[in-house]
Chains A and B, each alone.
Chain A
């Protein structure tokens, strides 16, 4: 009896060892590809669906998509390169290219992009240019995302405003924001006796972190001033224009009281109807679509000064350097397939960089993109600098976050904000 038991046990154990190795004996094992990206919201779901579709259509390749927030993902990228096991395909932003190509971990992709049948005229110009650093192309453009304004159309109508006329200029924007800001006694910011301490509904929600800096950057560009000199060694904006840009933003919070002081979660405030408008990017679209009873539309980022401009960036797909050419080729196949299906990626909220996808009927039919589509042509990206991680970090001690919070949270005089921003940026640019 005991012998029988041990025989049975042996058989079970052996079957465990043998079983998984049987199927590959029949068909050639598919190549496993690692694809990493920082899409941790609803955008990640869209990319997972696309990867599943790709895997179905390509039995010889098996892609695993790993999504993680961008900052830890980039740490993981560097350590994986160090360990000789980089991901085969990596999502990034345009402003990340300079840093990682300087670190020498990105493969120049110019000939690969041409070989895949893509050319400059296939893409939005800004997105195409965003894949280059110092004349070398390191990526294929995937999408564009920029600031625009979400408007709660129900609150808009309740305030007696015309939903067919959403604001485009800075003045109209402020005027509407005042009408949408209400204190406990129903008064608006310009009414006598208005009490900012008892505001129950605000006109605008906006981020006071690195996005606060992005808005300043756009307002600077609206006045025609560059942030950094073309040789990347120092700042190039004038005090007057920088001050004017910060002042306009600061006034929204501290003079007109149309933005909550020290707002921590503008998106949540918009969803819960604490704010009637929201300055944010198109990545919020899928989330907003799931909120029941919330009716909204979009319009352009406020045109405060002469020229239209809004901060924007774009996702792109890049291939970290590796020795295995077959894997590199498979990664290119994946990247090409994803970009060719760019209109599906449009479901993530991001705007396709591929012109044919952008103009496709399927994408045009998606609701709520109007403001972003109108803004797309005026998108400006951050200047490429090798110190981008240090300069543009979204973590607190980076100069752009410190400046934005000085102006928008601490109510520091704008001239001082400008001066401190200039000093810190110049110090970073001067360091090797």
Chain B
């Protein structure tokens, strides 16, 4: 006797069809992913072995672009600047993001408003943020210098000073993106069962001990994600730099992606630009690997 398919019992509304059915649902995304993500990634990799100025056909040059990078002082300047930017922003974004989250996870007055205010800048477009801060930081009529002048400091030509330009962009970036980290940390904090902290407190643990031995260890998966995303995002900084300083003054804020853009789209050396992109990718991969080694995502007792 033939066994009726399960569907007949009404337990499964979908299924029992072709095993390819789930993939059919994934197909629309897959098409977009292959066309606009994976395709360009492979294309860019191949381009990095060519000499190509968009028009005409690419000429295969082997490793010449990568070899030229080794002798390009501007490339090393941009690597150094990128790490400097990472150093200026990432620790602040992570620690301050966590601090905001811890503070705004407590039942304090004005909590909702504070959460919105801290997160709101993140909803702005990068170009808007860049232009806004260019005006705030302006040396002659900027808001910041206006108040600095009141306390007899400055005016500091923030964006046109060799020393102040990168910190100014870092400040802008922290203001712009800190809310994102805060929200992820908040979500992580709300996943921690309150009983754990309560019982620790009953056992006589102080606020610092609770934070040190309960909250931070249990937050580790979240921290792992935040650290990873922060490093990736800050390492690929471009918009703010492009809008606010264009990489200047001199080469003071020339970052990797800014330099990539300059080579590929301002001097039309697509192959060389692609090579910079792949070195950037390799550096990021290396950092992700190091992070995995140094900061395991698993919660250990």
Contact = CB atoms under 8 A, between A and B. Distances in A.
A103 interface: yes
B74 A103 contact: no
A71 B261 CA distance: 11
A287 interface: no
Contacts of B221: none
Interface stretch (B33-41, B187-195, B246-254, B279-287): B246-254
A253 to B, nearest CB: 11
B55 A81 contact: yes
B140 to A, nearest CB: 5
A272 B140 CA distance: 10
Contact of A409 (B55, B249, B267, B268): B249
B245 interface: yes
A105 interface: yes
Of listed A260, A262, A394, residue having the most chain B CB within 10 A: A262
Interface string A386-422: 0101100111111001100110011000000000000
Interface string A235-272: 00000000000000000000000001111110011001
Given A262-B160, A389-B266, A405 B249 contact: yes
Interface in B242-301: 245-251, 253-254, 258-259, 262, 265-269
Interface residues of A, number: 37
A269 B157 CA distance: 14
B132 to A, nearest CB: 14
Contacts of A398: 262, 266
A398 B251 CA distance: 9
A264 B250 contact: no
B259 A397 contact: yes
A269 B140 CA distance: 7
Contact of B55 (A103, A389, A402, A405): A103
A397 B139 contact: no
Interface string A60-102: 0000000000010001001101100000000000000001000
B272 to A, nearest CB: 11
B161 interface: yes
B79 interface: no
A406 B252 CA distance: 11
Contact of B160 (A75, A208, A274): A208
B1 to A, nearest CB: 49
B163 to A, nearest CB: 9
Contacts of A393: 262, 266-267
A263 B157 CA distance: 7
A79 B264 CA distance: 12
A104 B56 contact: yes
Contacts of B162: 409-410
Contact of A78 (B74, B77, B134, B268): B268
A209 interface: yes
A402 B78 CA distance: 14
Contacts of A401: 248, 250
Contacts of A390: 267, 269
A396 B159 contact: no
Nearest to A72: B265
A274 B55 contact: no
B216 interface: no
Given A262-B157, A264-B138, A208 B266 contact: no
Interface in B110-125: none
Contacts of B258: 396
Nearest to A102: B53
A265 B258 CA distance: 22
Nearest to B163: A410
B247 A264 contact: no
Contacts of B247: 395-397
Given A263-B157, A397-B262, A78 B53 contact: yes
B87 interface: no
Given A395-B246, A396-B247, A264 B157 contact: yes
24 contacts: A81-B54, A82-B54, A82-B55, A104-B56, A209-B248, A260-B140, A260-B157, A262-B159, A262-B161, A263-B139, A264-B134, A264-B157, A387-B267, A389-B267, A389-B268, A393-B266, A395-B246, A395-B247, A396-B247, A396-B250, A396-B254, A397-B247, A409-B161, A409-B162
Given A264-B159, A389-B268, A396-B253, 18 more contacts: A81-B54, A104-B56, A105-B55, A209-B248, A262-B249, A264-B140, A264-B157, A268-B140, A274-B141, A387-B267, A389-B267, A393-B266, A396-B251, A397-B251, A397-B259, A405-B160, A405-B249, A409-B249
